[in-house]
Amino acid sequence: MTADLFDSLPGPGPDEEPLAEGAVLLRGFARERADALVAAVRAVEAAAPFRHLVTPGGYRMSVAMTNCGTVGWVSDRSGYRYDPDDPIAGRPWPTMPPVFAALADAASVKAGFGPFAPDACLINRYEPGSRLSLHQDRDERDTGAPIVSVSLGLPATFLFGGLQRSDPTRRVRVEHGDVAVWGGPARLAFHGIAPLPDGSHAILGRQRINLTFRKAL
């Protein structure tokens, strides 16, 4: 008997922490697959190295980024977009590693959003002091699909607010192996990451890596 009693009950189970209407934190959900996820990140970055993108306003982002999947998120002086090609390598982004796709789907199901087949994974790398200021993820064609985010390495503080930039923000600490799922009314919430405190993680050293899975097309 492995069926979980809570599978049959509506609402969040014991290891599911509601963050907001439509947003759930699954603490430790990726922990036992974390080594495989990190190995897959290494394979992606060997083909598509992390780089600091420039915002349309001309600022260099403190977070370094790469992508895998059918399309990848990029920013430059002309704007934000999903692009099938890595503009630096001049070839398609690496394909989505199976361990990535499986984890994103399992997290979506666990959080109650049903099967999820993302076509894009943005990989963010933070070093101490890196931050992501408050923004909405609205470059995806299908905002009916959730976003799944996986935290690896150093702990960080999520900031998330409401549908207006001026709404009050809540802070939640996330650490290695934590997974958050954002859908429904939370899908277009403003969110960001506070400046990363210094520290050292057993696997990743002075780094935090975040995977965000999206249905962009």
Residue 122 lies near ligand MD3 (rule: CB under 6 A) = yes
| CA dist., res. 119 & res. 106, Å (int) | 15
Neighbouring residues of 39: CB distance < 8 A, sequence distance ≥ 6: none
- The radius of gyration of the chain from alpha carbons, rounded to an integer in Å, stands at 16
**Backbone dihedral angles phi then psi of residue 173, each to the nearest 5 degrees:** -85, 130
> Residue 139 annotated as binding?
yes
| CA dist., res. 83 & res. 120, Å (int) | 10
Residue with tokens 């780094």: 207
| CA dist., res. 133 & res. 126, Å (int) | 13
Q: Which does 186 bind (CB under 5 to 8 A by kind): Fe ion, ligand MD3, none?
A: ligand MD3
Number of chain residues interacting with ligand MD3 (CB under 6 A): 17
- By CB atoms closer than 10 A (0-12, 13-18, 19+), residue 3 is exposed
Identify which of residues 9 and 140 has a Cβ nearer to ligand MD3 in the complex. Answer: 140
> Residue 67 annotated as binding?
no
Identify which of residues 66 and 210 has a Cβ nearer to ligand MD3 in the complex. Answer: 210
| Binding residues for ligand MD3 restricted to 165-194, rule: CB under 6 A | 180, 182, 186-187, 189, 191, 193
Contact 174, 180 (CB under 8 A): yes
Quick one: which of 137, 158, 160, 215 contacts Fe ion (CB under 5 A)? 137
Quick one: which of 71, 147, 154, 179 contacts ligand MD3 (CB under 6 A)? 147
Residue 130 lies near ligand MD3 (rule: CB under 6 A) = no
| Binding residues for ligand MD3 restricted to 15-34, rule: CB under 6 A | none
**Shortest distance, position 90 Cβ to Fe ion, whole Å:** 26
Q: Residues interacting with ligand MD3, by CB under 6 A?
A: 122, 124, 132, 137, 147, 149, 158, 160, 180, 182, 186-187, 189, 191, 193, 210, 212
